[in-house]
Structure 1
Amino acid sequence: MSVAENNKPEEKNAFWETIVVLVQAFILAGIIRTVLLQPFTIPSGSMVPTLLVGDYLLVNKFAYGYSRYSLPLYNPEWFKGRLFGSEPARGDVIVFRLPPDPSVDYIKRLIGLPGDKIQMIDGVLHINGKAVPRDAAGTFKSDDSETNGRAVPVYRETLDNGVSYDTLDLDPLSGADNTQEFVVPAKHYFFMGDNRDNSTDSRFTVGYVPEENLVGRATFIIFSIGNKTPFYEVWNWPANLRLSRFFKGIQ
């Protein structure tokens, strides 16, 4: 019997061991994605300057417990409500399922809790009749078409729980700067984008978001590439990578 024939059983065993390892890796990745962390990419500028087009981030799916919307394949018959649920905090950046179409993921900042009264007056956010402090914080210019190459005013808001974040004011005369007063229903939340004049959010067609629609809290950016460069265009990475945003926490 030749040496090659002696090695065949070992080669066969090594092949199946490799298959088993790969299957285990896929199962583990599926569990992590379903239960713990899920990757998302930012396709639009509604959360500029906090999140930019081309940011790739991880979302903590354990933060608020689990609902039928937390699972990869949405099925309205699985169960209702939340398991291991916990309350989100005002100011959290959250991924949720769009109420009119639960197959769509949105990411916005949580502004209104159940029972809150929310209103925009002359570009200033008001919560329960009180203006949220808003301080000028310089300007912002995007590396894509979001700001059309111009420097846009940035305002830093500070909520009553101490959470601070930057917002953009693309148009000081925007229709989004003055709204009706919204009263958030029980077990619902009110979301807004940080790019206040260019965000489809709870002020408009999104409406109030049921608590079971929450998917998870955005935690940190793992990768970022500018100028709307597709991820697969590796040859364009050197000129477009935003290295300063790698592993940056989201506030």
Structure 2
Amino acid sequence: MAKEPERKRVDTPAGHISYREAGAGAGKPVLLALHGLGGNSATWRAQYAALSDSWHIIGWDAPGYGETMVIGPDQTAFATLALALMDHLGVGEFSVIGHSMGGIVAQAVAGEGGDRVKHMILSCTHSGSAKPASEPLSASYATRIAALEKEGSAAYAAQRSGMMVADGAPEAVRATVEEIARGVTAAGLRTCATMLHHADTRPVAPTIRCPVLLISGAGDKVVSHRQSEALAALYPAGRHVRLEGVGHAPYMEAPEAYNALLREFLST
């Protein structure tokens, strides 16, 4: 698999953000790609390679990832930062794809961006944990942060990569997921996990008018079938595709099928 484009960094009025891009060119539609907790802008390696003939793909690094600043752990603040990146790069209309944690942000971006957002793709994600501001971070997130701080990024990535892929996934795929996950830092994981803990996209969903594609993995060990179905219920006009034989990283486990879905949907 081809390597991802080089990381870039920009300073916007909302703060500094790092990102990668492929397929830049006049007249090409833009796809903003938002990764999950275990990823970064390199997550979309297979999509940069396969889709940049037709789309200008911009993959950001979430707050605390790559060279992006840490900001307040709030879904609207994350959306504001993502829209600031689009503004800085001179992008007007765009489509957005969000995977897992990035799917929460994608929904917030679509809500805040309004008519600027032409398509929304939600990949292996949900509507947020919706915990009140007074409630401390859940034990599952706190344990992951503590493990990363104690054991280091390499050990953390090795442990999490097994959760990301379906049972029986090729070792090369798991190894690539692990390689990318080594970039996770405790600061990034803490701010993004806190955002997820309190996020709630249910009030946002009715305001989103663009076409919606929901993708889930039949072997996903991170986002449950119940969570996928609950999210689909928020977007009754959306299309829900459940991919067999993949887990929580279908963009890498089955890139041909995943990219074909994106190409078809984004072309409508």
TM band (smaller chain): under 0.3
TM-score normalised according to structure 1 size:
0.26
Higher helix share: 2
Greater strand share, structure number: 1
